[in-house]
């Protein structure tokens, strides 16, 4: 019945994640060894040998699924011919750029979601009036909306942050409203019985009770904000930088260098993971001491 130590949870989580990566690489290369394209390697004696897989499956050909080591090599190679910067360095820069936009979108979207939920919990009328539009807003594909936002707010940071916020405020609004209304009605009566104001009830009861719901939503929002930032950058005439632009460029160059697109996807994935882990760390801190079921 002791609260789980956050440190042990993190170590265990990291080990499991590394194990998963190892299994993924093994399956990936195993599939290529069975049905990929032939490849050359140097044997123990230093002679160049050709390995020929027994089958030929198009889905694991070098064009569809480059070797893991090719992606690794590409990361160290220059991003373009005659450029000093390596692909890895370029992707880190792009990820930082995109991460900044996503973090701002996460922040503003999260705050908007919190504010809307706080408003709705105190006014059923406001909830009835606005909730249908909030739900409807999410049925519009972001791909259709992003160019409109870019048109209105320009191709710079502001437009991209708005796209990212647009994807993040919704899960936060819905989950936070659920969280703020989660306390037992008797807990609210208890607060009223000692003459607590709405404000006090909000900060001492509703807000702490909502945290497990909030963090569940923030995990969704953390990754959604990155999707939003990447989509925002990828707009026609969108950003010149960032992972979104890199993904579009490497997509065009796919036939000549599939490793680059895979590397960019890997970078986007790692950025998402970083965001997710940051939220998870905040959650472990904010929910310390609570029963394990609430910490998740």
Partner 1 sequence: MTDARSALATRGSGAPVVVVKGVSKTFESSGGRTTALENIDIAVAPGEFVSLIGPSGCGKSTLLRLIGDLTAPSAGSITVNGKPARQARQDRDYGIVFQAPVLFDWRTVQANVALPLEVKGLARSEREDRVKATLDLVELSDFARHYPYQLSGGMQQRVSIARALALRPSILLMDEPFGALDEMTRERMNSEVQRIWEQTSTTVVFVTHSIPEAVFLSSKVVVMSPRPGRIVRVIDIDLPRPRTDDTRETARYFELITAVRETLRGRAGRETPGDVASAERTLAEGAVG
**Judged by CB, which is closer to partner 1: 73, or 184?**
184
241 contacts 94 by C-beta, under 8 angstroms: yes
Three-state DSSP class for residue 183: coil
> What residues numbered 175-194 form the site for partner 1, per CB under 8 A?
184, 186-187, 189-194
How buried is residue 142: exposed, middle or buried, by Cβ count under 10 Å (0-12/13-18/19+)?
middle
Q: Choose one: 150-158, 237-245, 262-270, 286-294; the region binding partner 1 (CB under 8 A).
A: 286-294
If one asks whether residue 154 binds partner 1 (CB under 8 A), the answer comes out as no
131 binds partner 1 (CB under 8 A): no
Please say whether the beta carbons of 87 and 76 come within 8 A: yes
Tokens of 134: 């909030």
Least separation in angstroms between residue 191's CB and partner 1 is 7
Binding flag, residue 282, partner 1 (CB under 8 A): no
Helix (H) or strand (E) holding 124: helix 124-137
- 112, HSE (Cβ side, Cα atoms, 13 Å): 17
Stretch that binds partner 1, among 45-53, 154-162, 199-207, 267-275 (CB under 8 A): 199-207
Residues in a beta bridge with 177 = none
Count of residues engaged in binding partner 1, rule: CB under 8 A: 24
Is 209 a binding residue for partner 1 by CB under 8 A? The answer is: yes
Q: Which residues bind partner 1 (CB under 8 A)?
A: 1, 3, 184, 186-187, 189-196, 200, 204-205, 208-209, 211, 287, 289-291, 294
């Amino acid at each position: 019945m002791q609260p789980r130590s956050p440190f042990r949870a993190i170590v265990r989580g990291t080990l499991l994640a590394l194990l998963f990566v190892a299994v993924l690489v093994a399956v990936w290369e195993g599939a290529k060894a069975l049905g990929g394209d032939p490849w050359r390697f140097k044997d123990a004696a230093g002679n160049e040998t050709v390995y020929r897989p027994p089958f030929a499956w198009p889905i694991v050909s070098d064009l569809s699924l480059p070797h893991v080591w090719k992606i690794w090599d590409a990361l160290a190679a220059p991003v373009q011919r005659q450029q000093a910067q390596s692909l890895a360095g370029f992707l880190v820069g792009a990820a930082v750029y995109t991460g900044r936009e996503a973090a701002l979108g996460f922040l503003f979207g999260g705050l908007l979601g919190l504010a809307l939920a706080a408003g709705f919990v105190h006014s059923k009328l406001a909830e009835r009036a606005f909730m249908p539009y909030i739900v409807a807003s999410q049925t519009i594909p972001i791909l259709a909306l992003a160019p409109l936002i870019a048109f209105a707010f320009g191709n710079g940071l502001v437009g991209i942050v708005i796209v990212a916020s647009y994807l993040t405020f919704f899960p936060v609004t819905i989950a936070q409203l659920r969280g703020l209304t989660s306390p037992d009605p008797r807990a609210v009566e208890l607060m009223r019985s000692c003459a607590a104001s709405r404000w006090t009830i909000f900060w001492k009861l509703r807000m702490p009770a909502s945290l497990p719901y909030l963090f569940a939503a923030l995990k969704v929002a953390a990754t959604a904000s990155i999707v939003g930032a990447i989509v925002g950058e990828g707009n026609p005439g969108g950003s010149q930088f960032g992972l979104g632009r890199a993904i579009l460029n490497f997509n065009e160059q796919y036939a000549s260098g599939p490793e680059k697109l895979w590397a960019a996807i890997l970078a986007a994935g790692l950025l998402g993971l970083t965001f997710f882990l940051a939220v998870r760390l905040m959650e472990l801190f904010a929910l310390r001491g609570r029963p394990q079921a609430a910490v998740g």
